[in-house]
Homo-oligomer: A and B are copies of this chain.
């Protein structure tokens, strides 16, 4: 499957350079390359980049479609992030996993790793499927 289509990667994800590396039911692995422009005023990776990765990873994990080319959409209800250590430039990997939920709301846990494989942040989130996106087949984009 080709994951990185415009209907999967929105404009802000493209700005950040986020790509989907692995995707299956309840799981996603995404990555991006952190550059100097992603740093905060103290020279560390900006917290907003980290939370972007976490939010995207959790959302994708619950929106995998069994029909290629279809999409499922969800909105985030709430997102919680714990920052373990400061990040810097280089590749970032985020893993999202669905932990549970029902037909309309799903719950995820997510991790972000730096290029050395250290976990730099982890979090949890819950999402609500947009109407029509509850079924695993998804809908036409």
Contacts and interface: CB of A to CB of B under 8 A. Distances in A.
A38 B12 contact: yes
Interface of A: 6-13, 15-16, 36-44, 46-49, 51-53, 55-56, 59, 71, 73, 75-86, 99-101, 105, 107, 109, 119, 122-124, 126, 128, 130
Residue in A46, A82, A101, A109 whose Cβ sees the most chain B Cβ within 10 Å: A82
5 tightest CB-CB pairs across the interface, nearest first?
Answer: A48-B52, A10-B41, A12-B46, A51-B51, A84-B100
Interface residues of A, dominant DSSP: mixed
A124 B126 contact: no
Given A37-B15, A52-B51, A119-B100, A10 B42 contact: yes
Nearest to A6: B41
Contacts of A36: 11
Contacts of A11: 36-40
